[in-house]
Amino acid sequence: MEISVLGCGRWGSFLAWYLSRKGHKVANWGPEEGESYRVLKETGRNEYVALDEKIELTCDLQYAVERAEIIVISISAQGLRGFMEKVTKYPVSGKIFVLCMKGIEEDTGKRLSEIVTESGVPKEKIAVWVGPGHIQSFVKGVPNCMVIDSENDDLKRTLADSFRSGLIRFYYGEDLIGTEIGAAAKNVMGIAAGVLDVICPPLKGALMSRGAREVARLIKAMGGNELSAYGLAHLGDYETTLFSPYSHNRAYGEMLAKGERFSKLAEGVATSRAMLLLGKMHGVELPITEAVCRVCYGAGDDAARCREEIGKLFTRPMKTEMYS
């Protein structure tokens, strides 16, 4: 397949590396002024992967869009709407879009596939690729499982069958709403986990149980299958997000609780606000998400705020353990 990966940061460069190894004809695009593109252009590698010479590195967005039958996007979730305005200036009719990114639009509560649909791409041409796994492990040959989901059943099966390997086993998603919300929401739980790593690590067990239930309620209210919260896109991604030293969101929460600053992208920050918006829209209480949002956006001493806000979760009225 002719594939263009738009975005050449850590995930974008890995996706180009992986899809090229699968035998596809791959171009990896990045903005010419971007640091990630500059490093790859000058050295042929970054701290994660070395780009094979078969991979075509380009800063020409028109070329990257027009050459491909499949366009994989891996950029910051909050920049997707503006980026799609640039992409759709070029002919995209008939092209398949695969979103390998996790988030919810902060100002609208829109899922990423909805944003792409609103940009003019038919929903049957859109798929999402999410699930557990860190680049640092993949490049060492450590396998994992991921999910491809779409409203187009034939598309998700074709993509999963074409992309799977001994390194990544793909499953067919069956609930696009649940898959997207679950994948985004696990980053919020990752921030909470990072805070707990500082103030009380044993409470991460309660976070896992209650966090998945909180997200399940939201998915159900939005019209999805609440059981999706217990699949690979959410609960199945907790190991890599709530425990791994490679998790940006966990590291963000940990450093905030220590009164320090994390300099890299943590998608869960903006996602916490987006989820609260969705909770209000659908009448769902999201206590963990609300606490994380206050941790991320509150004023004053960061470490003290983390202890206060996360601590409040454990003074709430008693609940039935599983179903409340």
Q: Which residues are catalytic?
A: 186
Q: What angle do CA 187, 242, 163 make, to 5 degrees?
A: 65
C-alpha torsion 308→202→183→274, nearest 10: -10
Torsion from C-alpha of 6, 7, 10, 13, nearest 10 degrees: 40
Nearest to 136 by CA among 45, 53, 231, 246: 246
Kindly give, in sequence order, each residue whose CB lies less than 8 Å from that of residue 135, ignoring residues fewer than 6 positions away: 10, 11, 14, 48, 49, 246
- Rounded Cα distance between 270 and 293, Å, is 8
Using DSSP bridges, classify how beta strands 56-58 and 96-99 pair: parallel, antiparallel or unpaired: unpaired
* Size (the chain), residues: 324
Residue where the block lists tokens 């199945």: 236
- For residues 6-16, b (16+ Cβ closer than 10 Å) or e, as one string? bbbbbbbbbbb
Are 202 and 149 within 8 A, CB to CB?
no
What angle (nearest 5°) sits at the alpha carbon of residue 44, between those of residues 70 and 136? 75
Encoded amino acid at 2, one letter: E
Phi-psi region of 52 (alpha: psi -120 to 50; beta: other; left: phi over 0): beta
What is the Cα 173 distance to its own chain's centre?
15
Cα 176 from Cα 167, distance rounded (Å): 24
